[in-house]
Every structure is written in C-alpha cells, then in structure tokens.
Amino acid sequence: MIGVIDIGISNIGSVLNMFKYVGHEAKGISKKSELEACSKIVLPGVGSFDKGMAQLLSSGLVDTLNKRVLEDKVPVLGICLGMQLMCLSSEEGSSLGLGWIDAKVRDFRKSATPPKKTPNMGWNTVQVKKPIGLTADFDPETRFYFVHSYYVDCTNSSDALLITKYGVDFVSAFQVDNIIGAQFHPEKSHVFGANFLKKFGSM
Amino acid sequence: MINSRVIVQLLIKDGKLIKTRRFGKSKYIGDPLNAIKVFNEKAVDELVITDMTATKNGIDFDLVQKMATEAFMPICYSGGITNEVDAHKLFKLGVEKVCLTSAAISNKLLLRQLVDTYGSQSIVVNINVKKNIFGTLKVYDAASKKNTSLNLKEHINSVVDIDIGELILTDVDKDGELCGLNLELLQYVENVSMPVVITGGMKSANELVGASMKGASAVMAGSCFVFHGPHRAVLISYPFGGGYKIMKDMINDRV
C-alpha cells in the first residue's frame, strides 16, 4: 500500500485519485503507525519551504519518516515542495530541510541566467539523465506540469534523474537509491503523469 | 522549451456548467464533472473553474473537491475567495492555484498574505476589463455589473507589485462572442515579469501563436471548447496536445 503523507497544506486528493486510476492502492496517512505499515511513501506539497517544513515537524512524523526512508529503504517520492523538502536548505526560507539529498533549493530570479518569467508555470519537457525503470520509455514528447519559483540544485550531478531547461538547466527529478523527487506534478500531468505514477507504484 | 498553454475555463452557476456572453445571458452546458472527464481524455493543459455564484452563495467546497479529484490536469479555482481560510481549504481540496478578482481590488492585504503563505506560484489575479463610454479601458466589477473607477494600468501595477504568480486579463465585451481575442490588452503587461493569460472572445486555440508572440504565456476560453457551429450546439472539443502541439507545429512549419 502506498501512503501519501497529509501534512495539511498539500493536495493529496488528486494524487490518490491518479493512483486509483492507474490501479495502485493508496491512502492518505498522518500517523506514525500508518507510516510504519506502508510499502511506499509519497510526500506531496504545495506552499512555501519554511511553512511546509514547519507542518512536517509539527506532524511528529519526521523521526519515523527518516527511519522508513534512510534505514528501511522504503521507496519514497517527493512531489513539488515535497521534493524540495528532501534537500538541505532553500533560498526561499531559513529552515533546514530533511537533508536526505545533498542539494540546495535555489531561486530562479537569483540564478546566473534568470528566466524571463518566474514562476515556471506550465508544461515542459524533460531530458533523461539516468534511464532507470521510471524513465526508460520517456521520449522527447514526454512532458509534465510545473508550478514553482525555486528549483533543486544537486551537488552531485549523478543524483539528477531528469533535467529541464527554464532559464537554467535545473534538476526536474532526482533519484538516489530509494529516494525520488519530482519537481513537476505527475498527478496533474494526465497521460505522462499517469505513466510515471504507475511505474513508481510498481517499483 | 515550449510551455505555452491553452486553458479551458469552466464557468459554474449554482453548481451547473454554463457559458455566458459578455458576462450576461448564460446557456446551460451540462454537468461539470462529466465535462472534466471528457477534458481528461483530451489531455487539456489546464482548467480554470470560475464559480459566478460563489460570491453570493459562498464557495461550493464540495463541488470543488469533486472537480479537483476528477481532474488529471492542473486546476485554478476562482470565485468568492474572501479570506485565507477559503484559500487554505481550496488547496487542501486539491486545486493548484487560486484566483482572486474582487478581493484583488478590495483586499491587498489578503493577496499579500496568500503570496507569503502559499508562494507566488499558487496565487493568480484576474482582471475584468471593459471599455467605458469614452472608450477608455476600466477595471470592471462583475458583482455590481459596473465599471469601477480604477485605471487598468494602475491596478495591474498594484497586483504585480505584490509578486503574484500569474495575471489573467479578461475582455468583458468579447466574452463568449467567438470574435477573436483582444491582443491589444497585452500592451498593458509588456513589462510584467509573471506569466500573463489572455481571455475573452477566443474562437480558435491557434490564436495562442499570435498571443504568445505578444508576450502571453497562455490563452483561455470557454465557448470555443464547448460550442459547435453557428447555433452553438453543445459539443466539447479540444485540440489534442494543447499549447505544446500548437507551438511545435508552428515552429516546424517555419523550418
């Protein structure tokens, strides 16, 4: 069973519905016992970095989450802000992230080549850096829906799973062992997102 | 990179899907959830749900939840948002963005709070634009069906200064008329740093090409995706592949 973490400011309804559509059993979770019981974890999120981190801390789930992800090596997928929370820190705020991935979250507007428009809002293609199961059948038409003003910058380029160009080349998905993060919203990327979540559920 | 969008606007009146002409007379289209199922299959870039009656009746959270759960594409909700609790509930129900129109005029503090709490990318402002009898563009208030005294450029600047994530410009006089978008509105947003959506009167999704050359990130329409033929028979349609495909075809034609 896939547990979708409900930290209060995230849209878990569409994630749950998309899993149902592709034939995977998923439910919203907010208790330690539920986190212990699930075989895969999704950390969705919208909103600002500090607020998201504060919600996660006040949920009391962080210790169990660290154990499940870092020790039990349960596959985990961070979506949008959820991906960013897996990093060390963010230029959006002063809170520390979960620190699972050696990466910093940066502001498009402060990059060397800032995009003409921030936030990055809309559909964009992805360049596959690592052809693993999740990305193996991606083609140049594969695209996802993005809504974000901050982007992930991985210290180790080998952590990047997908790269997308928006002013800068940013990490649109990373993968380190069992930890996966996606900047885009697979649950809102119709045929492409359905395929992505179907494969995550089958990992 | 192509990220131009063709957005479908679903207009809700008392829980039913309808479509207006020039913000007035409306025609019944059908059940909003059925419409979303059809648009799912057509792989629509984005949906904007505008509840015309939310200001009067309050936000229909139950309907929004059903619509957001049904949609496999991004949703922006618009209508009747007057405080942070409304926005909080809407995000929890699964909408990606919320859009303020009246509150963006009367309550800049709320707009600022929402940007701070949820980040710019989640907050959209719509501006209804209508010519007054002297031909000057004014900001229109749909609730009172009257132009406000607000100058368009000043209102645009006042919301852009708050660092919102997206700006929608709606031409009230062209709404539902299928006469083509008023691209002249885009001259008012030339120096705006966030994505701009233009709507009102679109007859074909291919108008995205011209709009995008003038700086728009997206075009939005209702009528041209729900009506067919001169008698406006209800038929839901959408060009498969959306903005990506339209822009890509345009680029390929030129090479």
Q: Which residue, among B140, B18, B159, has the nearest Cα to B100 in the 3D structure?
A: B159
Quickly state the pLDDT bin for A9 (edges 50, 70, 90): low
Whether A8 shows a pLDDT value over 90: the answer reads no
A121 to each of A117, A140, B2, B209, B232, how far by Cα in Å? 9, 20, 11, 18, 32
Contact A21 B72 (CB under 8 A): yes
Quickly state the pLDDT bin for B11 (edges 50, 70, 90): very high
Q: State the pLDDT at residue B2.
A: 72
> How close is the nearest chain B Cα to the Cα of A56, in Å?
15
Q: State the pLDDT at residue B255.
A: 65
Q: State the pLDDT at residue A147.
A: 86
Of B3, B73, B93, the CB nearest to A13: B93
Quickly state the pLDDT bin for B75 (edges 50, 70, 90): very high
Dihedral pair phi/psi, residue A58, rounded to 5°: -75, -15
Whether B147 shows a pLDDT value over 80: the answer reads yes
Q: State the pLDDT at residue A160.
A: 98
Whether B24 shows a pLDDT value over 70: the answer reads yes
Residue A174's CATH number = 3.40.50.880
pLDDT in tens, A30-70: 999 999 999 999 999 877 899 999 999 999 999 999 999 99
Chain B CB within 8 Å of residue A167 CB: no
Whether B254 shows a pLDDT value over 80: the answer reads no
Percent of chain A with pLDDT over 90: 84
pLDDT in tens, A114-150: 988 788 888 889 999 999 999 989 998 899 999 899 9
Contact B68 A120 (CB under 8 A): no
Residue of chain A nearest B42, judged by CA positions:
A190
B50-67: average pLDDT: 96
* Residue B233: strand pairing partners: B228
How many other CB atoms sit within 10 Å of the CB of residue B146? 12
Q: Copy the structure tokens of residue B18.
A: 């309808």
Q: Copy the structure tokens of residue B118.
A: 């949820």
Residue of chain A nearest B95, judged by CA positions:
A11
pLDDT in tens, B168-178: 999 999 999 99
pLDDT in tens, B183-228: 999 999 999 999 999 999 999 999 999 999 999 999 999 999 999 9
The pTM for the full model equals 0.85
Contact B69 A121 (CB under 8 A): no
Contact B120 A118 (CB under 8 A): yes
| A154 is an active site residue | no
Whether A190 shows a pLDDT value over 70: the answer reads yes
| A80 is an active site residue | yes
| A185 is an active site residue | yes
Chain A partners within 8 Å of B7 (Cβ): none
Contact B119 A149 (CB under 8 A): yes
Q: Which domain holds residue A49?
A: 2-201
Q: What is the ipTM of this complex?
A: 0.77
Q: Copy the structure tokens of residue A90.
A: 């963010």
B108-112: average pLDDT: 97
Q: State the pLDDT at residue B1.
A: 64
For chain B, domains (ranges, CATH) are: 5-254 (3.20.20.70)
The rounded distance, in Å, linking the Cα atoms of A101 and A112 is 23
Quickly state the pLDDT bin for B94 (edges 50, 70, 90): confident
Q: State the pLDDT at residue B253.
A: 84
Q: State the pLDDT at residue A40.
A: 98
Chain B partners within 8 Å of A11 (Cβ): 68, 91-96
> How close is the nearest chain A Cα to the Cα of B68, in Å?
7
Residues 6+ apart with CB under 8 A from B41: none
> How close is the nearest chain A Cα to the Cα of B22, in Å?
28
Whether B92 shows a pLDDT value over 90: the answer reads no
Check A38, A80, A87, A154 and give the catalytic one. Answer: A80
Range among B46-50, B95-99, B238-242 rated most confident: B46-50
Chain B CB within 8 Å of residue A119 CB: yes
Contact A9 B92 (CB under 8 A): yes
**What is the residue-averaged pLDDT of chain B?**
94
| Structural domains of chain A, count | 1
> What type of residue is B121?
Q
Cα A179 to the center of its chain, rounded Å: 9
Residue of chain A nearest B43, judged by CA positions:
A190
A10-20: average pLDDT: 85
Of B91, B94, B165, the CB nearest to A119: B165
Chain B CB within 8 Å of residue A26 CB: no
Contact B72 A188 (CB under 8 A): yes
Contact B46 A145 (CB under 8 A): yes
The rounded distance, in Å, linking the Cα atoms of A27 and A39 is 12
